[in-house]
């Protein structure tokens, strides 16, 4: 899986489809978390969340893992252009999550925005378990993703949008998933509890803050 082909156009595609909703979901809880010491971001994309994180918490250390070399380069350039004095706080890692080596008990904040939705359920279980081994006690997990309403027109619309997006990104990026998987059960199984949730665009997009139970 790689978003190299869509990297130059991803911001425009996102804006056309969703306006500023996805970015609002990404940053929804930045002001509500304690200042982390070490952060792991998986699937950051072009660096828009990363820059906001560093503005809010300028002294953190960040490992940024992404399977797309072009996305990582866009993120690096964005940081160097917007907040160059904090560029040395980031370790950019061009690695697929399957090959990334998980250090144990290192990170007190994990961020997976619009990442887990790229995988089928079996892989989501594996990835959540792998990332959970890397967190310190009482860690926080920020997750923004798509969401399907329980019923009515909002559910029908979400299913229609998601079917189109999955077809597009299976072709352009080689994502594994064919439908949206809710990672909540996997997070609960790794001793995380949902602390807060915001819904956007009539419930089609969600932002969640999870905390690890000590």
Question: Could you tell me the CATH number of the domain that includes residue 72?
Answer: 3.40.50.150
Q: Is residue 48 part of a domain?
A: yes
Q: Is residue 2 part of a domain?
A: no
> 108-148, pLDDT tens digit by residue?
999 999 999 999 999 999 999 999 999 998 899 999 999 98
Q: Is residue 99 part of a domain?
A: yes
Residue 202 has pLDDT above 90, yes or no: no
Pairing mode of beta strands 107-113, 135-146: parallel
> 41-75, pLDDT tens digit by residue?
999 999 999 999 999 999 999 999 999 999 999 99
Contacts of 12 (CB under 8 A, 6+ apart): none
Strand residue runs (E) in 114-202: 135-146, 192-200
Three-state DSSP class for residue 77: helix
Give φ, ψ of 201 to 5 degrees: 50, 60
Per-residue pLDDT, averaged over 3-18, amounts to 85
Question: pLDDT exceeding 70 applies to what percent of the chain?
Answer: 99
Q: Is residue 16 part of a domain?
A: yes
Separation between Cα atoms, residue 114 and residue 143, nearest integer Å: 8
Residue 14 has pLDDT above 80, yes or no: yes
> What confidence category does residue 16 fall into, taking pLDDT thresholds of 50, 70 and 90?
confident
Task: State residue 103's pLDDT score.
Answer: 81
> What confidence category does residue 8 fall into, taking pLDDT thresholds of 50, 70 and 90?
confident
User: What per-residue string of b and e applies to 146-171 under the rule 16 or more CB within 10 Å gives b?
Assistant: bbbbeeeebeebbeebbeebbeebee
Q: Is residue 157 part of a domain?
A: yes
> Are 191 and 141 a contacting pair, CB within 8 Å?
no
Q: Is residue 19 part of a domain?
A: yes
Residue 177 has pLDDT above 80, yes or no: yes
Task: State residue 7's pLDDT score.
Answer: 84
Q: Is residue 1 part of a domain?
A: no
Q: Is residue 164 part of a domain?
A: yes
* Domain extent at residue 118: 7-212
Number of folded domains that form the chain: 1
Strand residue runs (E) in the chain: 38-42, 61-66, 90-94, 107-113, 135-146, 192-200, 205-212
Range of weakest confidence among 10-24, 110-124, 126-140, 183-197: 10-24
């Amino acid at each position: 899986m790689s978003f190299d082909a869509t990297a130059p156009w991803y911001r425009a595609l996102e804006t056309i489809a969703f306006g500023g909703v996805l970015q609002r979901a990404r940053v929804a809880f930045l002001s509500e978390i304690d200042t982390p010491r070490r952060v792991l971001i998986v699937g950051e994309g072009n660096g828009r969340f990363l820059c906001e994180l560093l503005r809010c918490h300028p002294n953190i250390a960040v490992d940024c893992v992404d399977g797309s070399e072009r996305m990582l380069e866009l993120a690096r350039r964005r940081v160097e252009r917007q907040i160059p004095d904090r560029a040395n706080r980031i370790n950019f890692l061009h690695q697929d999550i399957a090959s990334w080596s998980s250090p144990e008990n290192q990170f007190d904040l994990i961020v997976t925005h619009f990442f887990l939705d790229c995988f089928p359920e079996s892989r989501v279980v594996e990835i959540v378990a792998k990332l959970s081994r890397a967190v310190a006690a009482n860690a926080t997990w920020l997750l923004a993703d798509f969401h399907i309403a329980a019923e009515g027109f909002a559910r029908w619309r979400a299913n229609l949008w998601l079917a189109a997006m999955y077809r597009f990104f299976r072709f352009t990026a080689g994502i594994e998933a064919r439908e949206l998987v809710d990672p909540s059960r996997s997070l609960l199984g790794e001793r995380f509890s949902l602390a807060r949730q915001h819904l956007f665009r009539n419930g089609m997009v969600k932002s969640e803050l999870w905390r690890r139970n000590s």
